[in-house]
Structure 1
Amino acid sequence: MRPRRATRPWAKAKAVGATLAVGAMITGAALPAFNPEITSVAAASAEVTTAASDFAQSYTSTDEIRAEIAPRGNFAATTPEEIKETRSRAVAAAIAAGMPLGSAMEIPVADRVVMPMADGTYTFTDGFGASRPGRSHLGQDFAAGVGTPINAAMTGCVSRSTESYQGYGVTIQIESIVDGQAVSTVYSHLNYGTRAVEVGDCVEAGQYIGDVGSTGYVFGSCLHFEVHINTVAVDPMPWLEKNVS
């Protein structure tokens, strides 16, 4: 019987090393099957690191810095409050830039016209073309007591609403489309604090918009009413007689 050969220490270490090498090969072959993105993630990380390094090396204090604001997707106003706020911002921006109201919103077509004040609440005084210092009167005055209600003459959207507009005092202007023409109606000398509409609001024919006052350059209290067709002032009386239904 042959005596058992003693195992040398270096041989045992060699065997363990071989086992670990085989295990590493098996593990290396198995990892992609469990996580196929490891290689691509590592590569991407390396690219980002390299790009960041290149950017840092190439940047100088004289380089121009630009801020790019990405769009917020296809956001749209849905609630009445959001719609009104969005429209008001667009209208304010357009008017501030000297652009017409129609550049910021769709001007409605007016299918009927009404008198701006109720029957029996007013009397006619100065009419279109009456003499004024350095100019002629561009509208029709409806004399009435302070506080008498004023109504929109037709469906439209408000392009001006202010407590002070030159000699017109408290003034509202409304834009409409009538028979394919752009028609603006102006309501002036209203009483302070009675404006019921703001720029960007849309109104219906006969809707209350404010009260008669005596603001601006005027003697007594009245509504000064103007009609502009394609930006040209016309006599309101024949126009009202033709269109009021």
Structure 2
Amino acid sequence: MNHDTASPQQSGTGDDIPLTRRQLRERERVAERRTAVTPEVPARTRKARGSAVKSKRVRVSPATFTPSGLPRRRGKALASKALSFVAMLFAGALLVGVSVPSNAFVSSEDMAAAAAPRSEAANLAADSRPNQSLAVSDDVVNDVARQDNIKVISYAEVLALKYAGVSYEYRATAGAIRWPFPYEIPITDGFGDRIGGFHKGTDFAAPERTPIYAIAEGVVSYIQSDYSGYGYNAIITHVVNGQQVQSQYAHMVTGSSPLVVGDPIRVGDFVGLVGATGISYGAHLHIEIHLDEVPVDPFAWLTSNAVN
């Protein structure tokens, strides 16, 4: 019998007859042809086919379970419940601490001991503690008393006290030479040395907007605001006993004078209104008298020349 042509499938004898070398080579060729002819199946298709062929077996990842064998999701649920329970306990304790008075946790014996009066020994110990004291000398006490008696006064009152020995009394006149007001006005400052410089005029403490009048006939030589300290002021030039005399009216209300440079002036004519323009401590008339452009004491000059 020829072994090269016989095969187990053809003979029908089953797997008991061993294959010859020729049959083995033929089987290998058939397998190679099948491999070459069969197209490559995509990975997803193979996976799908494999899952269809396999039995219904559920693959469970090891990460799903904890080392103790419990599912991990169940462990998280237990932890969340435990956290909620602790939060409820804390909220309850906070509510009790806020609503319950503090003395509820103090025994009746402790409250009675706290309310009981201190013993004599405790009182003596408290009384024996050193007390603080402040020693003040008599000089300090007397100085404080002097300061309590200090009175605040105006600048005009300060000048009046400083020159209390000087008499500024006068009588209003109606002659060819007159005082700048037809009635007596208090004088608060005179001609002479002052704090901050030499005072070249006499200050009449007239109320603001009191009319000012020319002391003699003459001609207007100056009228405007002066930024050197006189404020709104006017200068009138006179001739008295053959001598040139200038009278200056300072600190007037701005624009209150009708005078124009070159205008002739008669004695008693309106000059302007009392104000506080320029460097002034308050409303007043500062008047100056110049003899040949040299300032003299206005109060002394008017006292000698202003007669009826």
TM-score norm. by structure 1 comes to 0.52
Larger Rg: 2
SS in 1 for 2:282: coil
**Aligned residue in 1 for 2:188:** 125
Whole-Å Cα distance in 2 between the matches of residues 147 and 130 of structure 1?
Answer: 28
CA deviations 1:148-199 (Å, max 9, x no partner) are 0000000000110003342000100000111111100000000112012011
2:239 aligned to which of 177, 185, 208:
177
Contact in 2 for aligned 1:165/1:171 (Cα 8 Å): no
Q: For residue 155 of structure 1, what is the aligned residue in structure 2?
A: 217
Query: Using the alignment, how far apart are the partners of 1:196 and 1:244 within structure 2?
Result: 25
Report whether the alignment pairs 1:112 with 2:176. yes
- Alignment of 1:198 with 2:291, yes or no, is no
Q: Alignment RMSD, CA only?
A: 1.3
Aligned positions of 1:135-150 closer than 5 A:
135-150=197-212
What does 1:53-92 align with in structure 2 at a 5 Å threshold? none
- Structure of greater relative contact order (alpha carbons < 8 Å, 6+ residues apart): 1
Equivalent position to 1:230, from 292, 297, 301: 292
Q: Take 1:165 and 1:184, find their aligned partners in 2: how far apart are those partners?
A: 20
Task: Confirm or deny that 1:218 pairs with 2:303.
Answer: no
Measured in 1, the distance between the counterparts of 2:191 and 2:264 equals 27
CA contact (8 A) 1:147 1:211 kept: yes
Secondary structure (helix, strand or coil) at the match of 1:145 reads coil
Gaps of 5+ in 1: 1-110
Looking at structure 1, the residues matched to 195 and 183 of structure 2 have their Cα atoms a distance apart, in angstroms, of 28
Query: Residue 97 of structure 1 corresponds to which residue in structure 2?
Result: none
Distance 2:199 2:250 in 1: 13
SS at match of 1:219: coil
Contact persistence 1:161–1:199 (CA under 8 A):
yes
Amino acid at match of 1:117: F
Bigger helix fraction = 2
CA distance in 1, matches of 2:274, 2:283: 7
Change (3 A) 1:165 1:153: farther
Once the two structures are superposed, the pairs formed by residues 34-45 of structure 1 within 5 Å of their partners are none
Q: What is the aligned residue count?
A: 133
Aligned identity (percent) is 39
